[in-house]
Amino acid sequence: MSNDFDFGLAGYTPEDEGSEYTYASAYWLSTTRRPAADVGAWHTASFETMPAPWVKVERFDNESGHEANDIEMVPIRRREFWVMNCTDDLSRYIPHYLDAISGKTFLTQRGFDPNLYRSVRSTVQVLAMVKGLDEPIVLQAKGMVGSHLFRRPTRRSPGGIVYQYVNAALGIAKATSTSAIPHYSFWVGIKAPRDAKGRIKTTEVGSGSGKAYVVMPELIENVDGMTRADIVRTFVGREKQELFQAVYEESKAWSEEVRDDFATAPTPAPTPAVRNQPEPIEDEASPF
């Protein structure tokens, strides 16, 4: 593994323990210290074998996995977690966003050392169906990349690029359809951006010792100029609509799960027993 690549920087989590759900998962490896480093791919260790475009890799010393730069997916459900990066070099889930001041207060109220606080980042997870796979998989991205991909649409924002595509396709479909169309009806293509020579492009962020290079995914199909022919081509089909509906219904609890690694206060260390402590000498004859 390159020295320019590390688990925390990339947003990769070798094992996501603590959740009661057992969906397969893949992580967008986005960030590196060098602009030419090998990132810009979905990485998963959840499968023994996978179809193309996934390829077998040995990126990490402790496991083998598969990676794909470009995929076609259908978002089923979405959830967002906040993660506190701590001064003991561990990352822990917290129930909601906390800045430095409220974070230290939160830790104190929960019985933890407030100096554990270092920073907070968001992690967005989308339960998706990916073309070529028979079971749902959780696609995960952190920070600015997670927001770029999967930000929830609001009245003031069109959301991340995946939901921009979905909503554009639904808008065209509903204009001519007489039946309800669920959001999981169209394949959304996501790709790593490349330059004219086919090399993956990075975006420089930060400065000084905090400078890094991030790969921001792109849509395979443009939202601008989308036509009915485009949505007909990316339509998943009636059979898959029914399958995805079942996944949607069974995953409601997953989308509402709250992760909180500070729910239980730490157990105080026992006070060591003092042995062989000399007893004070009392002189009963002393007048003082």
pLDDT band at 286 (very low <50, low <70, confident <90, very high): very low
pLDDT band at 61 (very low <50, low <70, confident <90, very high): confident
d(CA 59, CA 145): 21
The pLDDT assigned to 2 comes to: 36
Higher pLDDT, 96 or 178: 96
The pLDDT assigned to 288 comes to: 27
pLDDT band at 107 (very low <50, low <70, confident <90, very high): very high
Distances (CA, A) of 135 to 8, 149, 279: 27, 21, 71
Q: Is the pLDDT of residue 115 over 80?
A: yes
Could you state, in order of their start, the residue ranges of all structural domains in the chain? 7-256
pLDDT over 70, % of the chain: 84
Q: What is the dihedral of CA 110, 114, 118, 122, to 10 degrees?
A: 20
Q: Is the pLDDT of residue 220 over 60?
A: yes
d(CA 217, CA 140): 13
Across the range 114-135, mean pLDDT stands at 94
pLDDT over 90, % of the chain: 59
The pLDDT assigned to 276 comes to: 63
The pLDDT assigned to 272 comes to: 65
Q: Is the pLDDT of residue 91 over 80?
A: yes
The pLDDT assigned to 36 comes to: 65
- Contact at 8 Å (CB) between 12 and 62? no
Which of 43-52, 107-116, 164-173, 261-270 has the weakest average pLDDT?
261-270
The pLDDT assigned to 176 comes to: 83
Across the range 258-264, mean pLDDT stands at 88
- Contact at 8 Å (CB) between 127 and 144? no
In sequence order, the 6+-apart residues with CB closer than 8 A to the CB of 34 are: 4, 213
Across the range 164-181, mean pLDDT stands at 91
Q: Is the pLDDT of residue 180 over 90?
A: no
Mean pLDDT score of the chain, rounded to an integer?
Answer: 85
The pLDDT assigned to 273 comes to: 63
Q: Length of the chain, please?
A: 288
pLDDT band at 74 (very low <50, low <70, confident <90, very high): very high
Which H or E element spans position 229? helix 228-234
